[in-house]
Amino acid sequence: MWGKKPEQPTPPEVNEPKAANPPKPAPAFVEEKTMSSDAMRPLANSSATARLGASLHVKGEITGHEDLLVDGSVEGLIQLEDRKLTVGASAKVSADVVAREVVVYGTVKGNLRARDRIEIKKDGSVVGDLTTARIMIEDGAYFKGSIEIDKAGEAGDSDLEKPAFTRTVGAGAPKTS
């Protein structure tokens, strides 16, 4: 034991926190893929439908060139030219409407002009005048107003000179189809 040093206990290892390695920035080519400008382009799919949610209320004018589903409330004018308007079951629309096609599941107070057709579904309600080439009112629907059938399929102000069949339907009158 003369030549040996007494063994000293080794101090317990203390795990010192290692410096966190900062994340390495992604290479430029990866950023280009994730930051594609495709997200900024409008949808090319013409069957896409815009939606106005149930909690939204719009006062004024809505115009556009895409289909629209309204579940909220709208006061004013809806003009969709050659597109389809769907009034959802919870919707309350107090507006004049110009569209290619109008389908009503909810409540509409206003005049509807559709170049192609108007449908009022069984729980739908419309108070206003309709101008369209084709009409469908399901049993159980409520409609009060007049219907002008425009056989030319052009529901616009210039249609006054064209011959058309007009029928006035009241709240208790039989439905037309």
Coil, strand or helix at 38:
helix
pTM: 0.63
Least confident residue range of 35-49, 50-64, 157-171? 157-171
Place 165 in a pLDDT band, splitting at 50, 70 and 90: very low
Q: What is the mean pLDDT of the chain?
A: 77
Please enumerate in sequence order all residues whose Cβ is within 8 A of that of 83, keeping only pairs 6 or more positions apart, or say none.
64, 65, 66, 67, 68, 99, 100, 101
Among 64, 150, 62, smallest CA distance to 110 is for: 62
Pairing mode of beta strands 165-169, 142-149 = antiparallel
Average pLDDT over residues 154-173: 46
Contact 113, 95 (CB under 8 A): no
- pLDDT tens-place string over residues 111-124: 999 999 999 999 99
Give the pLDDT confidence score for residue 166 in this predicted structure: 44
Coil, strand or helix at 144:
strand
- pLDDT tens-place string over residues 43-62: 445 568 899 999 999 999 99
Q: Is pLDDT above 70 for 69?
A: yes
Give the pLDDT confidence score for residue 23 in this predicted structure: 55
Alpha-carbon dihedral of residues 127, 129, 134, 137, nearest 10 degrees?
20
Percent of the chain predicted with pLDDT > 70:
59
